[in-house]
Structure 1
Amino acid sequence: MSRPHVMSINLGKGVVRPYASGPTTGIAKEQLPEDTLVEVRDPGPKRGGLGSGLVGDEIGDRRHHGGSLQAVYAYAREDQQWWEGELGRPIAPGAFGENLTTVGVDTTHARIGEVWRLGDVVLSVEVPRIPCATFAGHMAVPQWVKRFSAEGRTGAYLSVVQPGLVRSGVAIEVERPDHEIDLLLSFRAAMGDREAARQVLDAGVLHPDEHAWLADKVARRAR
C-alpha cells in the first residue's frame, strides 16, 4: 500500500439541484490546487453549527449532514478506482462528495475512534456514510443506494480533535484503537443487521449520541 497521504482536498459550493434534500447541496466538490491551505475546525452541532469542518465547504442540508461527528468526509482513491471499473467511467477526486481523497488508508475498515494525524490537524473516525437520495441523484446511477450499500465501501466521517491548516500531499499517520469495531461493521449495524448491531453496542465504542440512536433503532425493531 502507498504511503498514507491526502491526495486532494475538495470543497463544494451550495447549488440548487432537483434531487437535493435541502435547499441546496454542496455534494459536487472540486479539487483545490495543491498548494492551497485550508482551515479545519470543529463545526459544532449539526443543527445551528457551522456545517462542514472545512472552511469554504458548504452543507446544504444541515438537518442530516455536517456537524461535529460528520465534520470531514474522507474517501479512498483506491475505492474510487474500483468504482471506475464497475461503472465504466472516470471518477474525479471530490466526485463522491468527499473533502479528503486519500491514498494508502483503508477507509472501509477504519476503526471507530481511530486517530488520523495530518500535520498539525488531528481527526477521529466516527461514522460511515449512509447513502441518500442526494448522493444517488448526484451519481445518476440506477439503484445507486442499493449498489453502494451492498458493496460497503462507505468512506469515513471524522470529527476534529485538533484544528489547524491542511493541504494536499500531507502524510496521514494512523493510530488504531485496540478494538475490532470498524466502519463496515458499524454500517451493517446501521442498515439493520442485528448481529452487527449487537457487536457494536456491546463494544461501547460509539459516540454517546450514535450509541443511543443505534440502541433505539434495535429496540424499535424488536417490538
Structure 2
Amino acid sequence: MSRVVSVNVSGDGSDTGIDKRPVTEPVRVSAPGPLGTGGSGLAGDVIKDLRYHGGDDQAVYAYAREDLDEWAAQLGRTLTPGMFGENLTTAGLDVTGAKIGERWRIGDDVVLEVSAPRTACRVFAKWLGEKQWVKRFTLHGKPGAYLRVIEPGEIRAGDPVTVVSRPAHDVTVGFAFRALLREPELLPELVVAEALPGPELRRARKAAAGRPGGA
C-alpha cells in the first residue's frame, strides 16, 4: 500500500527551508497563494526565498523513500526523512512515474495534484555538501514532485496515498524533468500536460510553435 512515511516541516530557526524535520502530530495542508506571496502549503513550514519557492504550484514537495535509499547507497551516508527538503516522504508510490495533473488522496481529506518536477539549486547543493550535486541530481532523473492543494485538510505520517485520477497524456514527472533540464528537444511534448505551472507550459508552447510544422 502506498503511504506517507513521514511529514516534514522546517521551523523559523532553520538556516534554510530545505532543512525539514519529521513531525508526529497532524499537519494542516492548504493552498498558500501565488508564488511570491504564498509560502508552503503545510502549516508551520517555512520557505526562505518566496521569489522562487512555494506558492500554489509548489505547495507540497514529495520524494520517495525508495529514491532516498538509492541515493543513500550511492553517497554512502544516511538520508533521513526530509533530508531532500521534502514535505512528504512516501513509500510504495512511483513519484517519478506520476503524471503531471495526477491527483492523490492522502488520508481522509486531502487531495493533491502533481504539478511539476523539482529542480536542484545551489542552496540544495550547499545543504547536502556533495560535490557537483546539481549536476548529479539532474543526471539521476529522480527529482520528486511538486504538488498543488486541491482539497485542504490534515495529513499525518502513516496516511495512505491513493491515486484517484490520472490524465490521458503520458507526460510524467520524470519525462517533464528531462525535457525541462536535459533534453529541450522534448519540450513540445509537454504541451498536452496542461496542469504544468504557467512558466513551464509557456516554455513548452513556445518550443512547439518553433518546431517545423508547429502552430
The question of a shared fold, defined as TM-score above 0.5 by the shorter chain, is answered with yes
Q: Would the aligned equivalents of 2:47 and 2:54 in 1 still touch at CA under 8 Å?
A: yes
Q: 1:13 Cα shift?
A: 1.9
2:84 matches 1:96:
yes
**What CA deviation, in whole Å up to 9, does each residue of 1:123-176 have, x standing for no partner?**
000000010001000010000000000011100100000000111101000132
Q: Would the aligned equivalents of 1:14 and 1:60 in 2 still touch at CA under 8 Å?
A: no
In structure 1, C-alpha distance between the alignment counterparts of 2:179 and 2:158, rounded to whole Å: 34
2:28 matches 1:30:
no
C-alpha RMSD of the superposition: 2.0
Q: 1:96 Cα shift?
A: 0.4
Q: 1:148 — aligned with what?
A: 137
In structure 2, C-alpha distance between the alignment counterparts of 1:45 and 1:141, rounded to whole Å: 32
5+ residue gaps, structure 2: 211-215
Q: 1:75 — aligned with what?
A: 63
Q: 1:9 — aligned with what?
A: 7
In structure 2, C-alpha distance between the alignment counterparts of 1:60 and 1:208, rounded to whole Å: 21
**What CA deviation, in whole Å up to 9, does each residue of 1:78-118 have, x standing for no partner?**
00000011000000000000000000111111100000001
Change (3 A) 1:102 1:204: closer
Alignment of 1:24-173 (within 5 A): 25-33=16-24, 36-49=25-38, 51-118=39-106, 119-173=108-162
5+ residue gaps, structure 1: 18-24
Change (3 A) 1:7 1:188: same
Q: Would the aligned equivalents of 2:100 and 2:116 in 1 still touch at CA under 8 Å?
A: yes
Change (3 A) 1:208 1:90: closer
Equivalent pairs counted in the alignment come to: 209
Could you list the structure 1 runs, at least 4 aligned residues long, displaced by more than 3 angstroms after superposition.
14-17, 213-220
Q: 1:217 Cα shift?
A: 7.0
In structure 1, C-alpha distance between the alignment counterparts of 2:34 and 2:57, rounded to whole Å: 8
In structure 1, C-alpha distance between the alignment counterparts of 2:68 and 2:119, rounded to whole Å: 17
Q: Would the aligned equivalents of 1:12 and 1:57 in 2 still touch at CA under 8 Å?
A: yes
Q: Would the aligned equivalents of 1:194 and 1:218 in 2 still touch at CA under 8 Å?
A: no
Q: 1:47 Cα shift?
A: 1.1
In structure 1, C-alpha distance between the alignment counterparts of 2:183 and 2:83, rounded to whole Å: 29
What secondary structure sits across from 1:8 in the alignment?
strand
Identical amino acids, percent of aligned pairs: 45
In structure 1, C-alpha distance between the alignment counterparts of 2:49 and 2:76, rounded to whole Å: 30
Change (3 A) 1:204 1:80: closer
Change (3 A) 1:10 1:217: farther
In structure 2, C-alpha distance between the alignment counterparts of 1:26 and 1:186, rounded to whole Å: 24
What secondary structure sits across from 1:78 in the alignment?
helix
In structure 2, C-alpha distance between the alignment counterparts of 1:190 and 1:91, rounded to whole Å: 27
